[in-house]
């Protein structure tokens, strides 16, 4: 089944975000965190830091959906990798499953989004959008957060 991005459907984005209980959306995207990634002398993509917007720490397996759009371009799901700060494990979104139920994204740790984008981003400002949906096990509903922010690549 083909993935249908919420960021491409404004009505669904509004429905999910406005039905959620999160009140920390203004903290989702970490200021000053957008930078290009290099492997040797080759720019392979970029990294962006986000914070969980739930009031408790979460098992990584509870991430239901994570989408990123930069300068209007939706980053394909297969090009988004997630890593909790100080954790050596990096997962492509579709690799996150029951095996990560004991790996936690603590409130005081950033979640790093490693975005595969050959050539990376140009220096200067970029419009970044992030949509994060987590499953809240004891409420039996998802919680969705969205933020749009201008970040600068130095």
Q: What is the pLDDT of residue 70?
A: 98
The mean pLDDT value for 137-151 works out to 84
Return the SS3 of 80: strand
* pLDDT reported for residue 99: 87
pLDDT in tens, 14-68: 887 766 555 566 789 999 999 999 988 999 999 999 998 777 888 999 999 999 9
Torsion over CA: 143, 146, 147, 151 (sign): positive
């Amino acid at each position: 089944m083909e993935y249908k991005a919420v960021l491409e459907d404004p009505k669904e984005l509004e429905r999910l975000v406005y039905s959620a209980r999160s009140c920390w959306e203004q903290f989702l995207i970490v200021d000053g965190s957008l930078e290009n990634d290099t492997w040797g002398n080759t720019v392979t993509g970029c990294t962006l830091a986000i914070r969980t917007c739930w009031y408790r720490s979460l098992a990584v397996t509870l991430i239901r959906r994570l989408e990123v759009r930069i300068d209007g371009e939706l980053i394909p799901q297969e090009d988004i990798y997630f890593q909790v700060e100080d954790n050596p494990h990096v997962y492509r979104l579709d690799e996150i499953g029951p095996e990560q139920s004991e790996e936690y994204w603590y409130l005081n740790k950033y979640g790093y989004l490693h975005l595969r984008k050959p050539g990376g981003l140009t220096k200067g400002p970029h419009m970044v959008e992030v949509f994060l949906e987590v499953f809240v096990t004891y409420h039996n509903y998802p919680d969705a957060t969205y933020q749009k922010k201008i970040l600068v690549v130095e």
